[in-house]
């Protein structure tokens, strides 16, 4: 009995020693003061062999005397994004940490070549957060990374707040995250729609539209007004939007959307019914009397025009940005999913809008 007890004691001592070794802390950690936390990354295609990657890093207030000059910018060229990240380390005295990235920006040339080769590093390595917002830059990317933030927000956070609904985000801005883009690369029945930004002298940037993609390649762009129809169909219109009419300004509050689909002789038939509630915010006094029916009639015509324009653009490119194809998955063989872009080109898509004027606002009445 006594030898068995001795064996148990030796085993317990050995186990305790192993636990002490494994719980001794992180042997390869870097102190936060010795890390540069990246706020935003810019990927710029230079030529067929090289690309340029920009990094904007926020500087804490303790090391910056001016709140509006609170960012440090670094850049490097490389064959791949990871190669550029490695090369920029040669310039820095601290470790570059991309795990805090809030925004990933790519230039238009990158979008035309294809997004997948430039974003795959983030998915494979999991180095960049999957909820980072993604946008396309139309024009020179350098000013967005070298100019001071206009309102003193930390780098990357400014870009993220631009899209966030709880801050400056409105539905038409179409907030798009990294995981959404990558998931649609693998889904032939649902195409990507990514915001397009352009340098602005007053603010850091402004949005000029939303780019739709055929696979991972840029196929075209819808306007900000056409984006409103996309937000209605996908029921992402959680906030109000202002529309300027010829004789009035209205606030659009989307209520409900129903999509009815069927397949007739291999041709998709899609009927979209949208209920829209609106409130009147302003009315012109110089163009005669404007009745509620006039406002509803004009809005109905404008929404149909935008819907036709959106459908024509996306059908021509075979890019189903709404995801109508997901509704036909149960009626198609999995081997036929790749045929959906061609089926979408030939689909019959009809729209019907039900408009209700919920509030006409206050007005002065003559006595």
pLDDT tens, N- to C-terminus, the chain (367 residues) = 456 566 666 666 776 666 655 555 554 555 666 778 888 899 998 777 789 999 988 876 544 445 445 678 888 998 888 888 889 888 888 888 888 888 999 999 999 999 888 888 887 877 888 899 999 999 888 888 888 776 665 656 778 888 887 777 788 889 999 999 989 988 999 999 999 999 888 888 899 999 999 999 999 999 999 999 999 999 888 767 777 777 677 888 877 899 999 999 889 999 999 999 888 877 665 555 567 888 888 889 999 999 999 999 999 999 999 999 999 998 889 899 999 999 999 999 999 999 988 766 555 455 5
Domain CATH code at residue 287: 3.30.300.210
Are 136 and 235 in a shared domain? no
Residue-number span of the structural domain to which 144 is assigned: 31-222
Domain stops at, among 195, 222, 249: 222
0.95 surpassed by pTM: no
Are 132 and 114 in a shared domain? yes
- How far is Cα 215 from Cα 113, in angstroms, rounded to an integer? 11
Q: In this structure, is residue 137 part of a structural domain?
A: yes
Are 190 and 296 in a shared domain? no
Q: In this structure, is residue 176 part of a structural domain?
A: yes
Q: Helices 116-125 & 81-88, crossing angle to 10 degrees?
A: 70
Are 100 and 200 in a shared domain? yes
Query: Would you say 212 and 253 are in contact if contact means Cβ atoms under 8 Å apart?
Result: no
Are 135 and 39 in a shared domain? yes
Query: Would you say 16 and 23 are in contact if contact means Cβ atoms under 8 Å apart?
Result: no
Are 179 and 244 in a shared domain? no
Q: Where are the alpha helices (DSSP H) in the chain?
A: 2-22, 81-88, 108-113, 116-125, 142-146, 157-163, 178-185, 224-233, 292-317, 340-345
Are 115 and 188 in a shared domain? yes
Q: In this structure, is residue 271 part of a structural domain?
A: yes
Domain stops at, among 222, 249, 271: 222
The number of folded domains in the chain is 2
Are 265 and 290 in a shared domain? yes
Are 38 and 169 in a shared domain? yes
Are 114 and 99 in a shared domain? yes
Q: In this structure, is residue 367 part of a structural domain?
A: no
Are 216 and 330 in a shared domain? no
**Rounded to 5 degrees, what are φ and ψ at 357?**
-85, 105
Distances (CA, A) of 78 to 86, 119, 124, 338: 9, 15, 18, 34
Q: In this structure, is residue 87 part of a structural domain?
A: yes
Domain stops at, among 193, 222, 251: 222
């Amino acid at each position: 009995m006594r030898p068995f007890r001795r064996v148990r004691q030796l085993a317990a001592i050995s186990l305790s020693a192993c636990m002490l070794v494994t719980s001794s802390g992180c042997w390869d950690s870097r102190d936060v003061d010795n890390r540069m936390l990246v706020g935003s990354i810019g990927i710029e295609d230079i030529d067929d062999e090289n690309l340029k990657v920009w990094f904007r890093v926020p500087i804490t207030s303790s090391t910056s005397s001016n709140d509006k000059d609170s960012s440090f910018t670094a850049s490097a060229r490389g064959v791949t994004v990871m190669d550029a990240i490695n090369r920029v380390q040669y310039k820095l005295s601290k470790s570059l940490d991309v795990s805090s990235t809030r925004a990933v920006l790519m230039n238009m040339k990158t979008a035309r070549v294809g997004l997948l080769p430039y974003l795959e590093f983030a998915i494979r390595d999991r180095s960049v957060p999957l909820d980072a917002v993604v946008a396309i830059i139309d024009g020179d990317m350098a000013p967005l990374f070298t100019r001071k933030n206009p309102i003193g927000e930390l780098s990357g956070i400014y870009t993220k707040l631009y899209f966030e609904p709880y801050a400056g985000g409105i539905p038409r801005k179409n907030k798009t995250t990294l995981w959404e883009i990558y998931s649609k690369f693998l889904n032939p029945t649902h195409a990507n729609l990514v915001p397009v930004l352009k340098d602005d002298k007053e603010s850091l940037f402004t949005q000029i539209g939303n780019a739709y993609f055929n696979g991972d390649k840029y196929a075209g762009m819808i306007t900000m007004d056409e984006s409103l129809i996309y937000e209605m169909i996908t029921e992402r219109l959680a906030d109000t939007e202002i529309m300027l009419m010829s004789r009035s300004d209205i606030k659009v509050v989307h209520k409900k959307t129903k999509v009815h689909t069927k397949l007739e002789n291999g041709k998709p038939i899609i009927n979209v019914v949208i209920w829209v509630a609106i409130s009147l915010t302003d009315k012109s006094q110089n163009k005669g009397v404007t009745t509620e029916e006039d406002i509803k009639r004009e809005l109905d015509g404008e929404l149909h025009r935008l819907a036709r324009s959106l459908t024509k653009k996306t059908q021509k490119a075979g890019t189903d940005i709404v995801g109508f194809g997901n509704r036909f998955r149960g009626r198609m063989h999995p081997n036929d999913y790749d045929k959906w872009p061609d089926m979408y080109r030939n689909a019959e898509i009809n729209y019907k809008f039900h408009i209700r004027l919920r509030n006409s606002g206050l007005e002065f009445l003559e006595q």
